[in-house]
Structure 1
Amino acid sequence: MSQPQGLNLTREQITALDNELLTLLSKRRELSLEVAKSKEIDIRPIRDTQREKELLERLVQQGREKGLDAHFVISLYQSIIEDSVLNQQAFLHGRANPDTQKQQYTIAYLGARGSYSYLAASRYCNRRQVSMIDFGCQSFDDIVNAVESGHADYGFLPIENTSSGSINEVYDVLQHTSLSIVGETTIEVGHCLLGQPGASLADIKTVYAHPQPISQCSRYLSLHPHFKLEYCSSSAEAMSKVIEANNNSVAAIGSAEGGALYQLTAIEDGLANQKINQSRFIVVARKAVAVPSQLPAKTTLIMATGQKPGALVEALLVLKAHNLNMSKLESRPIPGTPWEEMFYIDIDGNLATQDLQQAIKELERLTRFIKVLGCYPSETVKPTQLSQAQLLIEPSSSKAAEITEKKTSNQLQHKYSREYRQQNTQVICKQLHIGDGHFAAFSLINMSLTETEFTSLAKQNKEAGFQAVILTDFHGQLNELQFKKYIQIIEQAGLVGVLYIEQDSDLVHGHLADMLMLSGQQMFNQGLLSQLGKMNVGVIIERNNMASIEDWLAAADRVLDQGNQQVVLCESGIRSFAQPERVTLDLAGLIEVKDTSHLPIICNIAANATDIEYSQIKAAKQLNADGVVLNAMEYDANSQLLRQMYQD
C-alpha cells in the first residue's frame, strides 16, 4: 500500500479548490445578471422552470458519472438557482425604480447591532450591494416614526416566524401608518445560548432574551426550569446585558453571528423547537415602488368587511374567482370599534396585473374599508424538483420498486392529513356531533362551585344552547364519588361532560367523563398523549399558545397512532411577542388546519378574550370552525350570542 501524502499538503489542495470554486461562483453570478439585462429587454419571466429541470437533470447525470450523489448535486444547485433568481429580481427591481437607487441607505431596525432585525437588514443590503447606515430602534413604533420623519430610508419589521407564528403588534402598527411595503426578506434563525468565553451550561442561572426567541425555544427552556428568564426588547439588548454582567452565570439567546459581534461564545446551539426556524421581515418606505411584470410579486392589503353575515367569505371568494392565491390572512381588532376586525391579506400577485386590479375593484364594493399596503417582489423561491425517474434512483419499469415506493409513501402520510383521509371526520358522543357540517357549543364551568350552583348553571347553559360542558379547575381535589355526582348533574341537564386534563393525575377520573380535553400546557406531554390514544373516548387537544401548527398536528398524530380516532383540535390562541401575556385567536392558522387536516377544530373564545366577542365567534364559524368554547358564567351574553350564531 502506498504511503498517503501529508495532511497539510492535502489541506492546501482543498483550500486551493475552494478558492477556485468561489471564483467560479462569482463569475456565474455575474453571468446571471447578464441574463437579467436580457430579460429586461425581452420582458421575459425571471424563472424558466422547464430549463431549470433540464439543467438539474443534466447535472445529476454528469454528477453520477463523477461519483457524486444526486441529492447532493440537487441541493447544491437549488441554492445556486435561488441566489441567481434573487439577484436578478433585485437588479430588475432597482432598474424599475431609478429614483430610489443610492449607494448608501439608512435602515431602521429593532434593537442594536447583532439583533435578528440587524442581520435581516444586512442581508437585504448585501443582496443589493449597497452599504447600510445603522438606525437601531427600541420599538416597532420607533421604526415607523423614523421612516415617516425621513430619518431613515427603510424600516425592517418582523412579520412572522415559522415556529411561533405572526407578530400581531406589527399588524397593529401597519393599520395606522402611511408607509408602503416595498420588500421582504427571510432569514434562518439559529438560536444559541450565548455566554462569556469559558462559561459552561452548569454556570448559567439567568437567561436574557426577547419574548420571540423564548417562545421559539420553549422546549429547550422547559428542560432547564432553574433558568431565570429576563425579557428584553431585542436580542441585541439581551447580549448587552450579558456583557454588562461580566460573569459566567448569565447568558442570552441569540444568533452565533450576533454573539460574535459582542465577543460571546455559543454554549449550546440548535435551541429552537423546530429544526427549520425562519423569520420573515417586511421592508417599509415612504413611497410605493413599481414591480416589473416579470417578477413574482406579493400584494398586501387590509380591509374591514363590516358585520354582515358571511362578509369575509364573500370577499375571499372574489380572490378565488380571479384565480388569486391568498398566502396569508390575519385579523386584528379595530381600536374604538367594538365587534369589528381589520383583515390583513397577502396575495401572490402583481398589482399591475388586470386580475388583481379587477379583484380589488370588486372588493371595494363589498367592504367597508380597503387599502393596499404595498406590492413588492416575493423572495420566496420555490425549489425546482425532479421526479424519481429523473433522479435515476429506481428503475421505473420495476413493479416491485413501485410497490415499495407506494408502501413507503403511505407510511409517511400523517393520519391527521387529508392525504390520509379525504372526508371530514365527525366525532360523535351521545347527542353531541362535532365536525363534517355539525357546529357544537361548549361551555367552561369551574368545579369549585357548590353542587347547587353547579346544577343551576348546567341547566342555564342547556337553555342557552350549549351541547357540552368542560369541567375545569379540578386539580384532583374531588374523590371519585364527588366527581361522579358532577357528571350525573351534567347528564341530567342533557349535556355531555368533558374533563379538562391539566396534569397527569387528572386522568384518574377520565373513565367517568364522556370526553377528555388535554390542556395546551400538556400538549407536548408524549406520555399523556399516548395514554389518551389508548382510551376509547373522544379527545380534544388544545393548542399550546407557543406551539406551531406542525407541533399541534403532531400531538394529534400521536393520539391517532395509538388507535384513538376520536380526535378534535381546539384553537385557543397564540402569544403576542411584544406582550407575552396577551393571547390572540389564530384565524389564519384555523384556515391552514382546515385545509391540511380532516379533523374537527373548535375555537376557544373564552381563552383569549376578557369579554365575549361575537365577531370572533362569527369569524370562526364563517371560516368553517366546527364549534366554539365560551365561559359558562356569561349566561345572558351567551344566550344571545348563540341565538345569533345559529341564525347566521
Structure 2
Amino acid sequence: MADDTLNSIRKTIDKLDQTIIDALGERQRIVRDVLADKLENSKEIRDPGREEEMMESIREKAAEAGMDPYFLEQLFREVISHSVRYQTHALVDHQNKKAHQTSIKVAYQGTDGAFSHQVAMRHFEQRYDDVICIGFTRFDQAAEAVEKGDTDVAMLPIENTTAGSINDTYDLLAEKDLYINGEEILKVIHCLMAPKKVELKNIRRVLSHPQAIAQCSRFLATLPRCHVESYFDTAMAARKVKNDGDLSQAAIGSAYAAELYDLEILERDLANQKENYTRFVVVGPEQVTCDPQLNCKTSLIFATADEKGELLKCLNLLGDHGINMTKLESRPRPHHPWQSLFYLDLEGNTEELRVSDALSRLKKQAQFVKVLGSYPVREGKW
C-alpha cells in the first residue's frame, strides 16, 4: 500500500474518531438535561428495564453493521456506567446543598503527577469548574489540611489489590474527626522512567514510593546490581530523576508523571499482579447524605469489650439484619494496649431502616463505634 493511500485512510479514521467523540459529548450534554428533570421531579437515576432494552437493540444493530455484539454491548455498558456515575455525583451534591459549588480544594499526599493527584482530578473534574489540588509530603498533613479548613476534602489511598491495606489512612480515620464522603478506584500501571532512553543494565538506582516498590518487587528483582530506594512519592521520585539528569538513575511512577516531567519510559506495567488497582477514599469534615436509591456502602470502626465471643456477637447483629459485609480489617487500638479496632465496610446506606437499626443495636453491644459514612459505590472499570 502506497504511503499516500495509507495517510488518506488514517485521516478518514481520525475523522471518524472525532465523530465518535463529538457524539459522546452531545450524549453527555443531553444526560445533564435529563438529570435536571430527574432532580426536579424526584425520579429514579437508573431504569434497568430501559437499559436492557438498549442492550438488546445494540446487539441487533451490531449484527446488522457487521460488528461483534459483545464488544458493542460492553462498550455501551461503560457509556451507561459513566452516565450513572455523573448523575450519582450530581444527586449527592444536590442533596448536600453543593449543587452550585463551582470549585473545590483537594489535599493529597505527593506532588503533581502522583497517582493521588491523578485520581483526584478524575473524581472531581466533571463536577467542578475549578479543581485545586494541593500536595503534601505525608498523609497526616493532607488530613490536617481538611481539619483546619484549608481544603474541602482529602484524597487518600486506603487499599491496593497487590500490597493490601494502607494502614496510615486507617489510623488517620480512627484518630481524627474526619469522614468518608466517596471512593475512587484507579487501575495502577507502574512504569520505569529515566531522563533518556537507556538500557536496563545501565540503571544502578531506582526511586519510588514504598507501596510502588512492594507492588513491583518481582521486576526489581531482575535488576540485581540496582539499588532500590524509598521516596516520599512516585511523582516526587520522577521529578528528582528529571532534575538530577543522571542516566544511571530511574523512577517508578505513572505514565502521567513521565509525560509531566518529560521522562522516557523504559518499561511499562511492572506490577507483580497485572490487575493492580488502588482504592482511594474522599475524606471530609462531615458525613454526606445519600439517597436510598443509590448503590452505597457504609464504613465504620468499632471496638468490642474484652470478653469471649464479643466480636461474633457484633457481626451477628449485622447478619441478622440481612446486611452483607464486604471488608473486615483489624488494627491496634491507639492508647489501648492489646486491644483492636475493627474497620468494616458493609453494603447499604444509613438512610435505610435496616442499616440504621442494625447500627443502633451495634452501638449498644460494642464498646466503641464510629460510623465513617455512607457513600456511593464506585462502579465501572475505568
- Shorter-chain TM-score bucket reads over 0.9
Alignment deviations for residues 480-530 of structure 1 (CA, whole Å, 9 cap, x no partner): xxxxxxxxxxxxxxxxxxxxxxxxxxxxxxxxxxxxxxxxxxxxxxxxxxx
Alignment deviations for residues 458-484 of structure 1 (CA, whole Å, 9 cap, x no partner): xxxxxxxxxxxxxxxxxxxxxxxxxxx
Q: 1:361 to 1:332 in 2, by over 3 A?
A: same
Q: Secondary structure at the match of 2:46?
A: coil
Quote the residue 2:252 is aligned against.
253
> What is the correspondence of 1:182-221 to structure 2 with a 5 Å cutoff?
182-221=181-220
Quote the residue 1:620 is aligned against.
none
> What is the correspondence of 1:284-295 to structure 2 with a 5 Å cutoff?
284-295=283-294
Question: Are residues 1:62 and 2:72 paired?
Answer: no
Q: 1:99 to 1:382 in 2, by over 3 A?
A: closer
Quote the residue 1:487 is aligned against.
none
Q: Secondary structure at the match of 1:287?
A: coil
Are the equivalent residues in 2 in contact too, given 1:163–1:277 (CA < 8 A)? yes
Quote the residue 2:303 is aligned against.
304
Following TM superposition, by how much is the alpha carbon of 1:42 offset from its aligned partner in structure 2, in angstroms? Answer: 4.7
Are the equivalent residues in 2 in contact too, given 1:256–1:265 (CA < 8 A)? no
Question: Are residues 1:109 and 2:108 paired?
Answer: yes
Following TM superposition, by how much is the alpha carbon of 1:44 offset from its aligned partner in structure 2, in angstroms? Answer: 4.2
Are the equivalent residues in 2 in contact too, given 1:181–1:283 (CA < 8 A)? yes
Are the equivalent residues in 2 in contact too, given 1:43–1:294 (CA < 8 A)? no
How many residue pairs match? The answer is: 382
Are the equivalent residues in 1 in contact too, given 2:90–2:99 (CA < 8 A)? no
With structure 1 as the length reference, what TM-score do the two structures score? 0.57
Following TM superposition, by how much is the alpha carbon of 1:5 offset from its aligned partner in structure 2, in angstroms? Answer: 7.7
Quote the residue 1:232 is aligned against.
231
Q: 1:25 to 1:165 in 2, by over 3 A?
A: same
For residues 35 and 222 of structure 1, the distance between their equivalents in structure 2, rounded to whole angstroms, comes to 53
Q: Secondary structure at the match of 2:84?
A: helix
Quote the residue 1:81 is aligned against.
80
| Structure label with greater radius of gyration | 1
Are the equivalent residues in 1 in contact too, given 2:81–2:379 (CA < 8 A)? no
Question: Are residues 1:314 and 2:287 paired?
Answer: no
Are the equivalent residues in 2 in contact too, given 1:200–1:248 (CA < 8 A)? no
The residue type equivalent to 1:289 in the other structure is V
Quote the residue 2:274 is aligned against.
275
For residues 361 and 380 of structure 2, the distance between their equivalents in structure 1, rounded to whole angstroms, comes to 30
Unaligned runs of 5+ in 2: none
Quote the residue 1:175 is aligned against.
174
Question: Are residues 1:370 and 2:377 paired?
Answer: no
The residue type equivalent to 1:314 in the other structure is K
Following TM superposition, by how much is the alpha carbon of 1:273 offset from its aligned partner in structure 2, in angstroms? Answer: 1.5
Quote the residue 1:159 is aligned against.
158
- Using CA pairs under 8 Å that are at least 6 residues apart, name the structure with larger relative contact order, 1 or 2: 2
Alignment deviations for residues 311-330 of structure 1 (CA, whole Å, 9 cap, x no partner): 11211122222222211111
Alignment deviations for residues 557-604 of structure 1 (CA, whole Å, 9 cap, x no partner): xxxxxxxxxxxxxxxxxxxxxxxxxxxxxxxxxxxxxxxxxxxxxxxx
Q: 1:39 to 1:183 in 2, by over 3 A?
A: same
Q: 1:79 to 1:125 in 2, by over 3 A?
A: same
For residues 199 and 111 of structure 2, the distance between their equivalents in structure 1, rounded to whole angstroms, comes to 26
Alignment deviations for residues 404-432 of structure 1 (CA, whole Å, 9 cap, x no partner): xxxxxxxxxxxxxxxxxxxxxxxxxxxxx
Are the equivalent residues in 1 in contact too, given 2:82–2:380 (CA < 8 A)? no
> What is the correspondence of 1:504-519 to structure 2 with a 5 Å cutoff?
none
For residues 34 and 238 of structure 1, the distance between their equivalents in structure 2, rounded to whole angstroms, comes to 44
Following TM superposition, by how much is the alpha carbon of 1:361 offset from its aligned partner in structure 2, in angstroms? Answer: 0.7
Following TM superposition, by how much is the alpha carbon of 1:144 offset from its aligned partner in structure 2, in angstroms? Answer: 0.9
Q: Secondary structure at the match of 2:349?
A: coil
Quote the residue 2:133 is aligned against.
134
Q: Secondary structure at the match of 1:238?
A: helix
> What is the correspondence of 1:462-477 to structure 2 with a 5 Å cutoff?
none
Are the equivalent residues in 2 in contact too, given 1:44–1:294 (CA < 8 A)? no
For residues 52 and 320 of structure 1, the distance between their equivalents in structure 2, rounded to whole angstroms, comes to 32
Q: Secondary structure at the match of 2:175?
A: coil
Following TM superposition, by how much is the alpha carbon of 1:54 offset from its aligned partner in structure 2, in angstroms? Answer: 2.8
Q: 1:160 to 1:101 in 2, by over 3 A?
A: farther
Are the equivalent residues in 1 in contact too, given 2:154–2:283 (CA < 8 A)? yes
> Which is worse superposed, 242-251 or 37-46?
37-46
Identity within the alignment, %: 38
The residue type equivalent to 2:274 in the other structure is K
For residues 382 and 47 of structure 1, the distance between their equivalents in structure 2, rounded to whole angstroms, comes to 18
Are the equivalent residues in 1 in contact too, given 2:103–2:128 (CA < 8 A)? no
Are the equivalent residues in 2 in contact too, given 1:318–1:363 (CA < 8 A)? yes
Q: 1:53 to 1:160 in 2, by over 3 A?
A: same
For residues 206 and 61 of structure 1, the distance between their equivalents in structure 2, rounded to whole angstroms, comes to 55
Question: Are residues 1:39 and 2:38 paired?
Answer: yes
Q: 1:5 to 1:208 in 2, by over 3 A?
A: closer
> What is the correspondence of 1:387-398 to structure 2 with a 5 Å cutoff?
none
For residues 382 and 294 of structure 1, the distance between their equivalents in structure 2, rounded to whole angstroms, comes to 21
> What is the correspondence of 1:478-627 to structure 2 with a 5 Å cutoff?
none
Q: Secondary structure at the match of 1:6?
A: helix
For residues 100 and 198 of structure 2, the distance between their equivalents in structure 1, rounded to whole angstroms, comes to 46
Unaligned runs of 5+ in 1: 384-648
Following TM superposition, by how much is the alpha carbon of 1:226 offset from its aligned partner in structure 2, in angstroms? Answer: 2.1
Measured on the aligned residues, the alpha-carbon RMSD in Å equals 2.0
